[in-house]
Amino acid sequence: MKRAIFPGSFDPFTLGHYDIIKRGVTLFDEIIVAIGVNSSKTYMFSLEERQQFIREAFKDEPKVKVTTYKGLTVDFCKANNVEFILRGLRNPADFEFEKAIAHTNRDLAAIETVFLLTSAETSYIASSIVRDVIRNNGDYTKLVPNSVRVK
């Protein structure tokens, strides 16, 4: 069984994330969306809200699981018998950053990173932009799945 982890903070979960996962399920038998827990970061949405956003978005897709983790992504992969890390690339800057992480991960464990280019329709979406739109009372609904709603 080919299993991949799609790690991130998902604060919030965007249409870009959704697109990568939807396309990833055609490549893998299971995708574990793993929300990294970083106690030094301040999040707009609680961990429980972020999990619910993703679970609701993929409620009809049994190949997608949602969990949380602390520590190194490769340690999570080894502990859960995951051989692949799935990542999305929006632009050349993403590639340079993600390439360095992928090389480091490969040095630490026998884990391959698989990159998917974001679709043209979602390539401009970043969680930081969505948070800014939300903070300023803009229409964020065009940037996130229907499961993401601000109370």
Active-site residues, by number, are: 17, 41, 90, 127
Residues 6+ away with beta carbon under 8 Å from 116: 20, 23, 24, 86, 87, 88, 89
What residues form DSSP beta bridges with 33? 6, 66
Distance of alpha carbon 130 from alpha carbon 125, whole angstroms: 7
Distance of alpha carbon 54 from alpha carbon 102, whole angstroms: 24
Q: What DSSP element (H or E) covers 31?
A: strand 30-36
Q: How far apart are the first and last CA of the chain?
A: 39
